[in-house]
Structure 1
Amino acid sequence: MRILTLVALMFGLTGTAAAQMAAGDANTVDLELVLAVDISYSMDEDELRLQREGYVAAITSKPVIDAIKEGVYGRIAVAYVEWAGTEQQNLLIDWQIIDGPGTAQAFADKLAESSTNRAYRTSISAALDFSSRLFAKNAYEGTRRVIDISGDGPNNQGNVVTFMRDLVVSMGIGINGLPLALKAPNSGSVDIQNLEAYYRECVIGGPGAFVIPVAGKNEFAEAIRTKLVLEISAIEPQARVIPVQNKAVNCMMGEKIWRDRYGDGIQDNWQ
């Protein structure tokens, strides 16, 4: 632990004292991380499978394990949530400590063995609300708290996404994004042209928040791995830091597209 070694040298700590500092309380972690994953019907079954496989591979990869071990405490707490509309948020895997290959593999095995589901609508705001409440329910104390949210479309149901983003950030929780721009928008969908810009301006928040877009199915695994390493290491990717607000991005565009296409009363549709 390079950080702890420097601290020990500065304050003349013995090896035992430094080791105790590194261990901390068993429930103290470097990061509390919620992985919030979109399962709306706009994701086809192949994309859902690739997304699931990407998380399974990333959480057990050497770069992710190395990033965890480089932390002050050498461990993180992770929960996995699947979400779609306002009525569909599911805690698929409850909080679990990951501190090395064994615990990472146990988490990955649970994920790989879970069935995949799909549900209607897209409520990023409800996903953020549900995910933010999980931090108060766990037994861990992290130096950082982050929601990592992936999705392939804009918010079209529930609270205004910017309201919920600002509320979550005010709690000291960071939000990073993985916008999935896998298909070009067509006349029958409620997708948008520049999902990365929407996520950057309307969804992510907190110090060092970033987005890593996925533009092709072959990019899933690498994007997820890179995102996890950045979150665990608290590294700010220069190109992804939140810019000055772009007023050209309408954060209510998803709701508007839905109303224009389907009206206010339609609840069950493919998206």
Structure 2
Amino acid sequence: MGEHGKHRPLVRLAAALIALVAAGPAAAACRLALVLALDVSSSVDAREYDLQRIGLASALDAPEIREAILRGGAGDVALAVYEWSGRFQEKLHLDWVLLRSEADITRAVAVLAGMERSTSDYPTALGSALGYGAQLMTRAPDCARRVIDVSGDGVNNQGFGPALAYRHFPFSGITVNGLVILGHDAAVLEHYRAEVLRGPGAFLEVAQGFEDFERAMARKLYREISDLMLSAVDQ
């Protein structure tokens, strides 16, 4: 072996180390891609919308949620948020963002606190909402876990339902959790339990009315971000 041949292993090692350093923080693995979907159908009045909007922002801003995002596991958390109501009535409020720092979370909280409702005149097209979430997930960062977190106060009453959405949209590898808001529709809890939950470890969180939304969302976020496996349906 010549002089150059003797040093080839060292050269390859040095090149690998240089590439690793050059990649820097951007090369960090993503542990969770999380989509939050908020119900703004006609059963949700202006006050209830505000309780969702402020409740979501406050839940994300809570110290225990910040801690779970930034120090709760190896890798980043990616977040996207949209609202939904009737068929093709979805509005993306927060496109994919990696929550890598306190400042990243603060910016996301500000966006969510400032959300403006897109519509209040449409029924509950839950299948369409889920399909939109699946399509949104195709643009997500490459993360170890993929979760759609859909909240609502009523059952599907327009267009195709969750079963057809799961059959025809790209849901492979996606877990769907539910947050049920009680008070408007007595059938909503069983509907979400039977029709919406999907995938390993999927669970249901329950809010006792919109006034309880912040508490329920904070509890749900903590479980999703921390990957806590308590039970399939937790009431």
Q: TM-score, normalised by structure 2?
A: 0.83
Indicate if the aligned counterparts of 2:37 and 2:133 stay in contact, CA closer than 8 A: yes
- Measured in 1, the distance between the counterparts of 2:183 and 2:29 equals 38
TM-score scaled by structure 1? 0.72
Which one has the bigger strand percentage?
A: 2
Residues 173 and 239 of structure 1: CA distance in aligned 2, closer, same or farther (over 3 Å):
closer
Q: 1:194 aligns with which of 187, 195, 198?
A: 187
Deviation at 1:167, TM superposition (A): 5.2
Alpha-carbon contact 1:165-1:203 (below 8 Å) kept: no
Alpha carbons of 1:170 and 1:51: their partners in 2 closer, same or farther (altered >3 Å)?
A: closer
Match of 2:73 in 1: 71
Partner SS for 1:79: strand
| One-letter amino acid of the structure 1 residue matched with residue 134 of structure 2 | S
Is the CA contact (8 Å cut-off) linking 1:166 and 1:205 kept in structure 2?
no
Contact kept? 1:169, 1:205, Cα under 8 Å: no
The residue that corresponds to 2:103 in the other structure is 102
Answering whether residue 210 of structure 2 is matched by residue 217 of structure 1, we say: yes
* C-alpha distance 214-168 of structure 1, shift in aligned 2 (>3 A): farther
Name stretches of at least 5 consecutive residues in structure 2 with no aligned partner. 1-16
Is the 8 Å Cα contact of residues 33 and 145 (structure 1) preserved in structure 2? yes
| Partner secondary structure for residue 42 of structure 2 | coil
Larger Rg: 2
Paired residue for 1:90?
91
Structure 2 Cα separation of the partners of residues 165 and 27 of structure 1: 31
Give % identity.
33
- How large is the RMSD of aligned CA atoms in angstroms? 2.2
Indicate the residue corresponding to 2:115 in structure 1.
Answer: 114
Once the two structures are superposed, the pairs formed by residues 55-204 of structure 1 within 5 Å of their partners are 55-68=56-69, 69-73=71-75, 75-117=76-118, 118-138=120-140, 140-165=141-166, 170-183=171-184, 191=185, 193-204=186-197
In 2: Cα distance, 1:114 partner to 1:217 partner = 17
Instruction: Assess, with a 3 A threshold, how the Cα gap between structure 1 residues 168 and 176 changes in structure 2: closer, same or farther.
Output: farther
